[in-house]
Structure formats: C-alpha cells, structure tokens
Structure 1
Amino acid sequence: MSLLPQPHENVAVIHTDAQALLIAEEVAVQLRRDSALRDRERRLPHAELTLFSRSGLWAISVPKAFGGVGVSNVTLAKVIARIAQADGSLGQIPQNHFYALEVLRVNGSPAQQRRLYAEVLAGQRFGNALAELGTKTAHDRTTALSRDGDAFLINGRKFYATGALYAQRIPTSVVDENGVQHLVFVPAESEGLQVIDDWSGFGQRTTGSGSVLFENVRVNAEDVLPFQTAFERPTPVGPLAQILHAAIDTGIARAAYEDGLQFVRTRSRPWIDSGNDQASEDPLTLKSFGHLAIRLHAAEALLERAGEFLDLAQAAPNASTVAAASIAVAEARAISTEISLAAGTTLFELAGSQATLAEHGLDRHWRNARVHTLHDPVRWKYHAIGNYYLNDENPPLRGTI
C-alpha cells in the first residue's frame, strides 16, 4: 500500500523518522524512472517535484513545536542521499530549501517561524538566490536591500540559484546600506523578479541553477531575517548546509556503484586474459568493486556519524559542539567527493565500451558528481580537519567547510 497522498488529497503528513525513510524509498523508486531521459534531454522535473513535495518530505525538518516531525539530521541526510541516488538533480534541488529552514530556526522570530513553517507544511517549496558571479570571492555579496517606507527594495543579480525555478519563495541573500547581510524570503511571483533558466552545466542539468534578477523588488519587512549573525556565533547552519551536500554526493556514488554492478553482471564481457567465462568472475574486476564498496560504505557510515554530531550541535550549540559537527561533516564531505567521482569513472573501466553508449545514460553519474563536488573545494576540508586534530583549531564559523 502506497504511503503517498492520492491525487485528491493534500500534502502528506509525516509523523516519524521511520515513516520519512519509507516514503523516501517509495518516492525514489518513482523518481528514478526516466531519470536518464530527463538528464539527456534536460526535461525540467516539474511533475516529479510535485510528487516529491506532496509526499511531505520537504517538511521533515520543521520542528515539532511548529507542527512538523523534526526528524534527526541522520534521517534528513539519508532521505537526501536516497533521492540523489534516484536522480542527482532532484536530490540537490531541496538542499537550499532545508538550509533556509535552518536559518529560519536559528534566526527567525517566532512570528516568522510560525508563518513560513506553515507554508512548508502546506507543500510550498523554497529555492535560493544566494551566490553571485563577478565578486572577489564566492562568498561576497552585492545584491542590495534598501528601505522603501515600511518595506524594502531588492536590486541585484544572482546565479547558481538551484531550485528557484521551481519555488514558491526564493530566500535571497542581500546586503543593506550598512553592509550587513540579511536573508529575504521573497515570494516568487513578486513584481520585478525574474527567474532565468540559463543553467548550462554539463552535470546536474535539471536543477534549474541559473540566474535570478531583482529590479526594485518590493518585499515586506516581515520576510526579512537576520543572516550574517548566524555565522557570528556558533550555530549549526554551516554544517547543516554541508551535510546535505555530502548526502547528495553519497547518493550519486551509490547510483553509479549499483549501475556498475548491474551492467557487469548482465552485459559486460570478460577480458580474454582473465580466463573466465563471465565478467563478474574476473579477479581484477572483483578487486576493483571491492575497493569501491569499502569506500562507499565508509562514506555512508561517515554521513550517518556526521548527522549524529549535528544533532548534538543543534540541541546544544556552542563553540565545541558546532566545531565537532563541522569537522564530522567535513570528513563526510571529503570522502563523499572522492567516492562519487571514483564510482562514476570506475564504472566505465569495469563495464567496458558498451557502457559508454548514450542510450544507457551512465555518464550522468560522473557528470553530476563532477559538477556538484565543485560547490566548495575539498582540499580546504582536509586542511580544516588536519588543523582541528593536530592544532586544536576550530574551523571557521562561516560555514564553508
């Protein structure tokens, strides 16, 4: 019996972590269908996102005090990993939705929390307009927030706006006249706001990670939240964002690994020098799959461990717990980056030339991993991890690791 709402029903209500995982499995099975075709033809997943958000999964981090289930971060990461395994793009689209919900939890007023959490429970999706092109660093912002009577105006241009194309609200990072950053939950239908579908990345092709243009977009004061202060004190906002990235890469790695197993079992031919009748008996192939399996299982274990550390940091945020969570998540991010790329490329080494044929769509796993793992450099994660263990130096609070 399906746990998903029927067409005549509203958004499903999830009551437990176990139920969230069961529904994620059911949704993932459906989202996997045509995933290769959507990637190949860049078919934007509007219908699939409707199914995904109506399942109730987009509301699982809403705290219990506001009517949600408030799942653990272990569960949240597993849900995202399972969806990313089905379709890497669909796994990434809600990343900044959950990020915005964490900023709301940490920095929102009770009135803002009640109103915006209620929207999410009713099935609304939040996208993002955070990053910008042409700034000195990837974390600099120029999009301006200026006062207009009892409201505000936004002017600027964003890029890498994953999910904005599909969202009812677009949380947007802005800088006021004093240089202070805020996060504005901008309604997608706002006058002067334009979402431009100009994402041309060779991977994660249907995330809609293009541009958002703001031309005198008027927003209410009640939709403006403090943002910069989330990184001026120890909060779990940074590691929460990062564990979702780790989950996406872990899911992509699992998809590449599983597809590799299936292809070698059913289609690949043994190399003549192996002396075997089947490719699945080739001793060098067995060694390679064993190597992949160990690293994949390690990534999945570190992802779960990171979720446990993040749960502790959310329950009692301080310099120690947030640093420990950030490092645990950085470890998961580092290994998930490596295994997603390794699984995506080793697949072809083991499956053989047939696996490169376009009709199989197996190249999407490596392309998705290569594009998504560029979100922030893994080399700096190793630096932060080493500095933490060797020199007792806590990582930066800005949430970049």
Structure 2
Amino acid sequence: MGSLTETQIDHTVHPRVNSADPVPPRPRPATPAHILRDDADALAVAKTLAEDFAQGAALRDREGLLPLRELDLYSQSGIWSLLVPAAYGGPGLSHATLAKVISIVATGDPALAQIAQNHLAILSLVDLDATEAQKKMVFDWALRGLRFGNAFSETGGKTVGDFQTRIVFEDDSAIVNGEKFYTTGALLSHIVPIVAIGEAGAYIAFADRDTPGLTITNNWSSFGQRTTASGSVKIENLRLPRERAVLLRDTSVTTSVQGPVSQIIQAAIDAGIARAAIEDTIKFVKTQSRPWVDSGKESAGEDPYTIAAIGDLKIRLHAAEALLEIAGRAIDTGYHTPSLHNVSEATIKTGEAKVLTTQIAIEATNKLFELAGTRSTLGQYGLDRHWRNARVHTLHDPVRWKFFHVGNYYLNGTHPPRHPWN
C-alpha cells in the first residue's frame, strides 16, 4: 500500500472511508493468528508492524483509504490476543506490555492502533465478567484471528453512559434493537459486540458481522483518525443465541480494572502519535528546514532554541511513557488482586498517564510546525495528520476530569469512579 500513488488507487480494492459504497464483511482468516511467546516477541512484532504501517499512513489519511491489508496483518500478528489468559491458550501478557505494544503500533499509524482498541478492551471485559463457557467461546474466536468491532457508544442519550439499545430474551435467543455511533472497527470486523440494556442489567451481545438486522454504515467524517471507519451501526430485531449475551457486572458497585484497561490503550495511542510527530520533526529539521536568519547557524539543527525545544519534547514524552509503564503495572496488580485500593491505584495511575500523553500529543504535534517551519505545512508531506489525529483522539474522554479525580484521591482519599471512561 505504501507504494501506491493517487493515480494507481483502485477504490474497489482500496475502499474509502465516509463513502456511500457498501463494504462487504471481511473474509475470516484461513489460519489461526500467531500466539505471542513473550514480551520480547510482542515488542518485536509491534516494531515490524509499525514500520510497515508507517509507509502508507500519509496516503491512507489523505485519500481516506481503509487499511484492509494492514488490518489483516495486524489481527494475525498475535497482538489482538495478547490479553487472552494462558489458561485459555493465549499468551496472557501484562498490561504494561500491552501499553508499550499499542504505543509502538500507533507510532506507525494511530488509526490502526485504535481499530484494535475495542477488541482488546472487550477481551478484558469477557475475562472479568463472562461465564466459563462464554470465556472459552470468545477467547477461541480471538485466537483464531477473528476481529471484534464495537457497537457501544450512542449519540441520543443525556450522557455517554445513557444507553437506549435494548436486549430481550425469548427461549434460547436474544433479540437486540438500537442504534450506535463511534463504532470503531465494526465495519471491518468479523464479530460485532453490542452493548444493550436488559432487565438484569447491561449485556454485551456478540453478533456475526453478517447477521440479519445488523446494518453498518461507513459514515465516519471526522478530520482526524480518518481511517478508523468509526461510523454507525443500526440494530433491528437482531437475533442471536442466548449464550452470546454476556451479562456485565455493575462496575460502580464491584471492583475491576475494566476502566483502566480501556483507558491505558487510549493513552498509549496518544503516546504513539506524539512519538511519531517528534520523529518527523527531527527528520524534517535535519533535512528540509532552513536556519533562522538571526541564528547565525549553518543548519536548522544547530539553532539553540530548536535544540532546547526538541529536548523538552523528548523529556515530556519519556515522562509520559514512564507513567504508562507505572500504570500498566498498577493494572496488573489490580487485575490479580482486585481490592478497592488496588483498583483505585490502577485508575489513578492510568489517569495520570492519560494527562501526560494527552499533553505531549498536542504539544508535539503543534511544535512540529513551529520548529520545522512553513515548508512543513505543504500537503506533499502530510504532516498535518499528526495534529489532526492528536486533536481528535485525545477527545475520547475529557482530560480535565483526570486532574479532578487524581487530586480528589490524593487530597481527600476519594476513590475515583469506575466506568469505561475513567
């Protein structure tokens, strides 16, 4: 994909985002996905993928091309089953490794990293809430290389947690009705997990991508993270086997690391955006930028103010990465010993990491143009995608509330809320 030019693009093979053209369900993999051996294998695989994804990232962003080849490589790489416990045949790697791996992939293309986000968070949900039979079913799907999309968020409720989608049960069947938006990954998935409300509480219902009553619209039109295909899903009298509906625990009254797991993936994506922006800034300054006339220097890379700014960005990035590591270890502790203290520590440490990754993502993508100069804004370089991606992705949940919950925890001993956005 990286070698394509605009005149070579066949949109029947490389469909666009936000297009009225239907995108048929993706074929299921012919072979099981790779199973990661250990942390080193996971990091090596992530680096190889990131290098591949980076080659066509600017073109895919500019043309709005869905990353079909890249997504198949990604979901067969083993990273998508990283959280499957060893007892079920998976690698059962740590959440700290998860954060590192996702940030590396996001350096290559944060849209691809985001497409996997809900799949990974759903595996964590299943691990925490599902019955033994449901765990075996869902984990087996993941190990076979099946991709989960998401039909979670809605736009019509008073708040992000106000769900209108409903599920009812008839004999051995579950029937779901509702509408969803921000459905990252659903368009290109094999299975669409749908969050719906029933008499007993909230459920996540796993529907095959081609199930009758499931309509996925490719209408994601944001100016950033353009190739995530985070469009909409309509569910009309969708019927599926009852055992595919997992009853979710109420996290407000039980302790689990569900929220921090979802959040650390989001934070890791922002760290990857920042890292890519800083790397491109350094490359551009060294190869394309001119020294400022007042500097008296022969090259832009010798400008003392530019040097200091790069140092500042690197320090902030490394601080954010260090907090991601700390947060990942805290989530590991909360996962194995889910006490109120441990889960709150995981939530707070992850919130701290989210603050720093948000700040460095926005700062680094702004500084890119200031340091690289006017030439760096030309369309041929596609560097504006970094700022657009950072600005859009960091909006997933308001970082201003992270400051409040962190401060309230340390000052007043108030445990933070437990939900997927915290």
Shorter-chain TM range is: over 0.9
Q: Does 1:59 align with 2:81?
A: yes
Q: Which residue of 364, 369, 383 corresponds with 2:390?
A: 369
Does structure 1 conserve the Cα–Cα contact (< 8 Å) formed by 2:224 and 2:388? yes
Distance 1:300 1:88 in 2: 16
Secondary structure at 1:156's aligned position in 2? strand
Partner of 1:163: 185
Query: What is the TM-score normalised by the length of structure 2?
Result: 0.91
1:31-66 deviations in Å (ceiling 9; x for gaps): 111110000001001111001111111111100000
CA drift at 1:346: 0.5
Aligned alpha-carbon RMSD (Å) = 1.3
Secondary structure at 1:260's aligned position in 2? helix
Q: Does 1:100 align with 2:122?
A: yes
CA drift at 1:268: 0.2
1:321-371 deviations in Å (ceiling 9; x for gaps): 000000000000001001000000100000001100111110101100100
Partner of 2:42: 20
Q: 1:236-315 maps to which residues of 2 (within 5 A)?
A: 236-315=257-336
Partner of 2:145: 123
Secondary structure at 2:294's aligned position in 1? helix
Distance 1:174 1:352 in 2: 49
Supply the AA of the counterpart residue of 2:310: F
Partner of 1:148: 170
1:7-45 deviations in Å (ceiling 9; x for gaps): 996522211111111111111111111110000001001
Distance 2:418 2:31 in 1: 43
Does structure 1 conserve the Cα–Cα contact (< 8 Å) formed by 2:223 and 2:388? yes
1:129-167 deviations in Å (ceiling 9; x for gaps): 110012101111000112233211111100000011111
Partner of 1:139: 161
Supply the AA of the counterpart residue of 1:333: K
Partner of 2:359: 338
Partner of 2:406: 385
Task: Extract unaligned runs of 5+ from structure 2.
Answer: 1-28
Partner of 2:19: none
Partner of 2:256: 235
Secondary structure at 1:367's aligned position in 2? helix
Does structure 1 conserve the Cα–Cα contact (< 8 Å) formed by 2:129 and 2:249? no
Does structure 2 conserve the Cα–Cα contact (< 8 Å) formed by 1:24 and 1:82? yes
Supply the AA of the counterpart residue of 2:166: A
Alignment: residue pair count: 394
1:232-269 deviations in Å (ceiling 9; x for gaps): 30101010000000000000000001000000010000
Partner of 1:219: 240
Does structure 1 conserve the Cα–Cα contact (< 8 Å) formed by 2:277 and 2:365? yes
Distance 1:11 1:133 in 2: 34
Distance 2:222 2:253 in 1: 33
1:186-222 deviations in Å (ceiling 9; x for gaps): 2111101011100000000011111011010001111
Task: Extract unaligned runs of 5+ from structure 1.
Answer: 1-6
Q: Does 1:201 align with 2:215?
A: no
Distance 2:252 2:264 in 1: 17
Does structure 1 conserve the Cα–Cα contact (< 8 Å) formed by 2:130 and 2:248? no
Distance 2:407 2:296 in 1: 45
Question: Which stretch has the larger CA shift, 335-344 or 286-295?
Answer: 286-295
Partner of 1:42: 64
Distance 1:122 1:231, change over 3 A: farther
1:82-128 deviations in Å (ceiling 9; x for gaps): 11010010111111101100110000111111111011001001111
Q: Does 1:327 align with 2:348?
A: yes
Does structure 2 conserve the Cα–Cα contact (< 8 Å) formed by 1:107 and 1:230? no
Partner of 1:175: 197
Percent identity over the alignment is 46
Secondary structure at 2:216's aligned position in 1? strand
Partner of 2:135: 113
Partner of 2:53: 31
Supply the AA of the counterpart residue of 1:331: E
Distance 2:48 2:32 in 1: 17
Name the one with the larger helix percent.
1
Question: Which stretch has the larger CA shift, 98-107 or 223-232?
Answer: 223-232
Q: Which residue of 104, 126, 131 corresponds with 1:82?
A: 104
Does structure 1 conserve the Cα–Cα contact (< 8 Å) formed by 2:167 and 2:196? yes
Partner of 1:4: none
Does structure 2 conserve the Cα–Cα contact (< 8 Å) formed by 1:21 and 1:78? yes
Distance 1:150 1:62 in 2: 27
